[in-house]
Amino acid sequence: MPARPAASRSASPAVPAVMAAGDLGQLFSALTTRGYQVIGPTVRDGAVVYDAVDGPDALAAGWGDEQAPGSYRLVRRRDGAIFGHRSGPTGWKRFFWPPELRLWQARRMEDGFRVEAEPAADPPRRALLGVRPCQLHGLLRLDRVVAGGPYPDPRYRAARERAFIVAVNCTEAGGTCFCASMGTGPAATAGYDLALTELVTDGAHRFLVEAGSEAGRAVLSGVPHRQAEKDEVAAARVLLQKAAEAMGRRLDAGGVKELLYEKFEADHWDRVAERCLACANCTSVCPTCFCTTVTDATDLAGGRAERRRRWDSCFSVDFSYIHGGPVRASVKSRYRQWLTHKLATWHDQFGTSGCVGCGQCITWCPVGIDLTAEVRALRAGGERGNGV
């Protein structure tokens, strides 16, 4: 039976449940017995990354992080929160839109070449545990770009349909977060199978759990839980409201599309270009960037050739190469393209913003360029716009 599309999941109006933190292992068991490989946040190389985890002990429990423009640092927490950290450098999109993928290969035969297309095997069934609401919105927007339209990517669509999403609502804001400005957090509203809100109060450690799909309700039925009390629901709402009010950044999204079109020739782009390294870190960590390139290669003996798709970036000088040279040869033009596409032409192409307010591009920019500050500067007046 084909899995239902990921985008069909929606929040349930049912009364939330409560699961003790000590029963998180039962959630792992409920997922693995259904054939899911659990992917969750774990600590490696000085950061919280997303990878396969075999139980609660492998999660990044007790760790938090301090994020600022161009700065990321892990810190120990005193409360033992399991999900007390923000988004890390490795996003969730790579499990559906891999950084590199072989499309086909060809082998030399006696009578010519034989092309061997990569088999469209069923992708693994993955349960993504700990997906932040902003990152979840990133997946939903990628669904529209990559799996929607007249030419959907079959590998992406298959991986998404076989995935189980456990979102974790944000009860603390990070230094570079601005999801509240973009309407993508701090609480998950759609696209999940289960949504957790971690409560660590009065010596009690528990999760408020909401099911957003039939699959989510089925998994929850195999985990010890009880109906949430009114004070627990209220406590979760207070934490979410505090997180929304404590965002480290804010982006005024009203009229930003028109602003960027109007300021296409603004002098401010030159000042950004003086700082930007065109390193493409921002596009690598962005949950909605989807650009790729295709490369062909042969072995030294000429007996085998292959074609691969890999991530690319509009910050690469070769990305806009057309016969005769690149269309965007300057760093100024490439940064302007990225920001304008993210906040303006996405609306024209896909009916939504390409930014989900996760702030990862700010954290992982080596020189700390902050797109929220750049938009404010463009709004600030004194800039030379089109013919102004």
pLDDT higher than 70, residue 4:
no
Beta strands 47-52 and 292-298 are unpaired
Q: What is the pLDDT of residue 14?
A: 65
Model pLDDT for residues 306-358, shown as the tens digit of each residue: 999 999 999 999 888 888 888 898 999 999 999 999 999 999 999 999 999 99
The Cα–Cα gap between 76 and 46 comes to 12
Residue linked to tokens 């929040």: 11
Cα 209 to its chain centre, rounded Å, is 22
Model pLDDT for residues 142-178, shown as the tens digit of each residue: 999 999 888 899 999 999 999 999 999 999 999 999 9
What is the average per-residue pLDDT within 183-191? 95
Model pLDDT for residues 277-310, shown as the tens digit of each residue: 999 999 999 999 999 999 999 999 888 999 999 9
Share of the chain above pLDDT 70, in %: 94
Cβ-based neighbours of 377, under 8 Å, separated by 6 or more:
268, 383
> Would you call 7 exposed, middle or buried from its count of C-beta atoms within 10 A (0-12, 13-18, 19+)?
middle
The Cα–Cα gap between 134 and 137 comes to 5
Per-domain boundaries in the chain: 6-245, 256-379
Model pLDDT for residues 206-222, shown as the tens digit of each residue: 999 999 999 999 999 99
Can you read off the two tokens belonging to residue 4? 């239902």
- The residues that bridge with 51 in the sheet, in sequence order, are 40
Q: What is the pLDDT of residue 120?
A: 64
